[in-house]
Amino acid sequence: MARINANYLKLKAGYLFPEISRRVSAFAKAHPERQIIRLGIGDVTKPLVPAVLDAFHQGVDDLASSDRFHGYGPEQGYDWLIQTIIDKAYKPLGVELDVSEMFISDGSKCDSANILDIFALDNVVAIGDPVYPVYNDTNVMIGRTGACDARGYYEGIVYMPCTEENGFLPAFPEQKVDIIYLCFPNNPTGAVATREQLKGWVDYALANDAVIFFDAAYEAFITEPGIPHSIYEIEGAKRCAIELRSFSKTAGFTGVRCGLTVVPQELKASDGQGGQVALNALWNRRQSTKFNGVSYPVQRAAAAVYSATGWAQVQQVIDFYMENARIIREGLQAAGIRCYGGVNAPYIWLKTPAGLSSWDFFDRLLDQCSVVGTPGSGFGPSGEGYFRLSAFGERANVEQAVERIRNGWGQ
């Protein structure tokens, strides 16, 4: 009989967001009169901006005409989109990239999962804790781990705790690792790495011949000057880092689907036979064989994000979400709740009051304030005792949620 990939059976059954849905549904049923405000899942709520919509429509119109029809495009993405991103998003940071080094995809989630394809299974992988669950689960699914222990740690993965004590910036792994996932601004903690901190990681990776997967999906939310937006702002990073970016949060593309991955030509890994191979060529082969490029009108829409008008409009939306973040952060602080993030990221990571567990706080917040957030323990064991609120939402809802929390939890 055909046999399944039994690594899938190691995955814990209960995923975070279905459990949240279940509890919210039960609450809503029991309390039909209560107006529930959701600050849980990190999905955008604002419409696409006009410049992007115009370009999207134009892209569709092109497909109406024999002369401007676009069939199969390059699996790597169209040069005009890649060059635009390089010129508008990387050159201003002092980062030079060649068109061949960037690959347009249908989203960072896919890329962060698929990038594992080009690495040997015996690489040792380090991930943060708490962490975006996809990093963890895809390593389990591909067969890099043993079973899950009682804490929720899979055998074979090196977990890097990110806690209040270390400012949510993990220490370097004590054992030898080959692949390191970093996400700044971080989901879920909202933490960022300074230039010096990021340089520490690049130097560490170079010294240890490790590859960094740098997830910069939230870089557009950085408001403080001096915080790196790209790992390639750090000297030497092109020799050790792959960077992922996304249009999802930057430009409201969660339902449109577009992201990108940078694999510098200088970046090499061992072939296991004493030679070295450029990862760019491998990723190119992977994408050419297993992917067929991003929808043409979507690429047109993505390029418009970087027009002068588009960027100004997108920036207004980001400013709006970051004002939400400020309202949530300051409201929580006024209620005596310690919180982090929300300055360079659309997430507020709060320490649950009174030593409550993440899920107990979830239940109390839902019961007392009718506000839904995300239990920190759902992102990993070190997230226990923390809670994530998202700054995506309508202003009136955000303000009301904060008021309810101040009334529910304030001194």
173 to 232, contacts with its own copies by CB under 8 A?
A: 178-179, 209-211
Per CB under 8 A, the segment of 47-55, 147-155, 381-389, 399-407 that binds its own copies is 47-55
Check binding of 3 to its own copies (CB under 8 A): yes
Q: Which of 41, 99, 206, 334 binds its own copies (CB under 8 A)?
A: 41
Per CB under 8 A, the segment of 48-56, 79-87, 219-227, 370-378 that binds its own copies is 48-56
Segment 251-310, which members bind its own copies (CB under 8 A)?
252, 254-257, 269-273, 276-277, 279, 282, 285-286, 288-298
Angle at 333 between CA 329 and CA 337, to 5 degrees: 105
Among the listed residues 259, 309, 304, 316, the one whose alpha carbon sits nearest the alpha carbon of residue 56: 304
Check binding of 10 to its own copies (CB under 8 A): no
Segment 108-127, which members bind its own copies (CB under 8 A)?
109-110, 113-114, 117-123
Check binding of 16 to its own copies (CB under 8 A): no
Check binding of 4 to its own copies (CB under 8 A): yes
Neighbouring C-beta atoms of residue 8, cutoff 10 Å: 11
Q: Which of 30, 64, 171, 354 binds its own copies (CB under 8 A)?
A: 64
Q: What is the dihedral of CA 19, 24, 25, 30, to 10 degrees?
A: 130
Segment 314-333, which members bind its own copies (CB under 8 A)?
none
Structure-block tokens of residue 274: 């004493």
Q: Element (H or E) spanning 52, and its range?
A: helix 50-62
Task: Name the residue nearer to its own copies (CB basis): 132 or 340.
Answer: 132
Residues contacting residue 262 through CB under 8 Å, at least 6 positions apart: 97, 101, 102, 103, 232, 242, 243, 244, 245
User: What is the Cα–Cα distance from 390 to 383, expressed in whole angstroms?
Assistant: 16
User: What is the Cα–Cα distance from 409 to 405, expressed in whole angstroms?
Assistant: 6
Q: Which of 39, 44, 263, 325 binds its own copies (CB under 8 A)?
A: 44
Per CB under 8 A, the segment of 65-73, 96-104, 304-312, 318-326 that binds its own copies is 65-73
Check binding of 66 to its own copies (CB under 8 A): yes
For residue 340, report the phi and psi dihedrals to the nearest 5 degrees.
-135, 170
Task: Name the residue nearer to its own copies (CB basis): 11 or 356.
Answer: 11
Task: Name the residue nearer to its own copies (CB basis): 11 or 334.
Answer: 11
Q: Which of 30, 33, 72, 165 binds its own copies (CB under 8 A)?
A: 72
Q: Which of 21, 31, 35, 69 binds its own copies (CB under 8 A)?
A: 69
The number of residues making up the chain comes to 411
Amino acid residing at 297: P
Among the listed residues 400, 385, 318, the one whose alpha carbon sits nearest the alpha carbon of residue 353: 385
